[in-house]
């Protein structure tokens, strides 16, 4: 037969094989296997992620429900007096499982619905997933919104599972909208991206700081018993403590008798804080049997030490690193041949 009509629960289904049309209540429909729908949903999840997929399903289900509610509301003149019968008779023949409104408060427009064996539940059962339905519950919120012309939302009280024979969903007028949920997801995703960028910046900053510490004040053993530490740039509290700790820990390792602090890389306007750092390092090194010698002292820095940074006058100060090495060798009774 090229044409076939079936009426189930007052709902008409028509097939016209000549034109390839399938009609459900005179509206074009298409049938999908549950396994095919699962592939569709899994693909969305793979591309968009779990959170975005939930929002896509919820938004799509709701908006489709609005279309259904508006269409059938006009054709069937559905209101609170016949909505219970209409919901049950319409969705069961379409393969949406058994749905029943068990409680209704017409004055406050609140509904409690039992949903059993719907296609989304069957879809989630295919791979024994613990995923809980969101498309179907939100769809009925859209249906109610389309019928009554006010925004409905939902609250899932119970999901169908091995212990519960059906899902229980409450529906009620609400200011919650799918548009607001979309905006909230966008803000959450933006905040997540900002946090990820901040974490990446913090990690890279720490790596850079570690690299700067390694490069800014290297420990250079130039000759037996003589090491050089170049001082470069400015020193905050953290960098100063790092310099002292690293330098002192290397003195015994190299059996250093002389520590040459090269001040060439310091600004001529050396701060009192840096002077205190040098003084502290010199005093600590002396306790380990190492003499500190300041090299790379420019005329401007020499004048500054004389006038302001008098605590540095206690150290032997020489103009260049070469002079410092010759001086340390001479004091230790050696010379370069």
Residue 320 in this model has a pLDDT that exceeds 70: yes
Question: What is the pLDDT, as a whole number, of residue 232?
Answer: 81
Q: What is the pLDDT of residue 160?
A: 92
pLDDT at 302: 86
| pLDDT in the model for residue 186 | 67
Which of 264, 267, 251 lies closest to 219, judged by CA? 251
Q: How far apart are CA 51 and CA 324, in angstroms?
A: 66
Instruction: Tell me what the mean pLDDT of segment 174-198 comes to.
Output: 73
Report, as an integer, the average pLDDT of 237-257.
Answer: 88
The pLDDT tens digits for 250-263 are 899 889 999 999 98
User: Whose CA is closest to 275, among 265, 263, 264, 286?
Assistant: 263
Least confident of 130-134, 190-194, 262-266, 296-300: 190-194
Position 9 pLDDT exceeds 80:
no
Q: Which CATH architecture has domain 217-331?
A: 2-Layer Sandwich (3.30)
- Split at pLDDT 50, 70, 90, the class of 309 is confident
CA-based nearest residue to 277, from 243, 252, 307 = 243
**Can you read off the two tokens belonging to residue 177?**
């909208």
Domain spans of the chain? 32-176, 217-331
Residue-wise pLDDT for 101-113, tens only, equals 999 998 898 999 9
Distance CA 294, CA 18 (A): 101
Fold of 32-176: Muramoyl-pentapeptide Carboxypeptidase; domain 2 (3.30.1380)
């Amino acid at each position: 037969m090229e044409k076939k009509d079936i009426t189930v629960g007052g709902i008409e289904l028509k097939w016209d094989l000549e034109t390839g049309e399938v009609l459900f209540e005179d509206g074009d429909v298409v049938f999908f296997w549950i396994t095919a729908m699962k592939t569709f949903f899994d693909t969305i999840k793979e591309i968009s992620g779990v959170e975005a997929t939930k929002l896509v399903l919820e938004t799509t289900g709701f908006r489709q429900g609005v279309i259904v509610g508006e269409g059938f509301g006009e054709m069937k003149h559905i209101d609170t007096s016949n909505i219970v019968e209409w919901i049950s008779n319409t969705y069961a023949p379409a393969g949406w499982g058994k749905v029943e409104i068990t409680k209704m408060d017409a004055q406050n427009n609140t509904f409690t619905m039992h949903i059993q064996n719907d296609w989304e539940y069957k879809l989630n059962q295919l791979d024994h997933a613990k995923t809980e339905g969101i498309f179907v519950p939100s769809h009925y919120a859209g249906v109610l919104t389309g019928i009554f012309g006010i925004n409905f939302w939902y609250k899932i009280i119970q999901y169908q599972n091995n212990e519960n024979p059906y899902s229980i969903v409450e529906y009620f007028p609400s200011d919650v909208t799918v548009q607001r949920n979309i905006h909230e997801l966008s803000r959450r995703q933006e905040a997540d991206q900002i946090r990820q960028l901040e974490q990446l910046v913090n990690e890279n900053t720490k790596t850079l700081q570690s690299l700067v510490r390694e490069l800014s004040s290297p420990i250079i053993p130039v000759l037996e018993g003589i090491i050089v530490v170049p001082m470069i740039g400015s020193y905050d509290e953290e960098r100063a403590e790092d310099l002292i700790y690293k330098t002192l820990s290397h003195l015994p390792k190299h059996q250093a008798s002389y520590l040459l602090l090269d001040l060439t890389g310091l600004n001529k306007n050396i701060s009192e804080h840096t002077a205190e750092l040098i003084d502290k390092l010199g005093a600590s090194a002396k306790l380990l049997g190492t003499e500190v010698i300041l090299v790379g002292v420019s005329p401007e820095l020499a004048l500054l030490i004389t006038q302001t940074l008098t605590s540095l006058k206690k150290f032997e100060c020489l103009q260049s690193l070469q002079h410092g090495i010759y001086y340390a060798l001479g004091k230790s009774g050696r010379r370069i041949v």
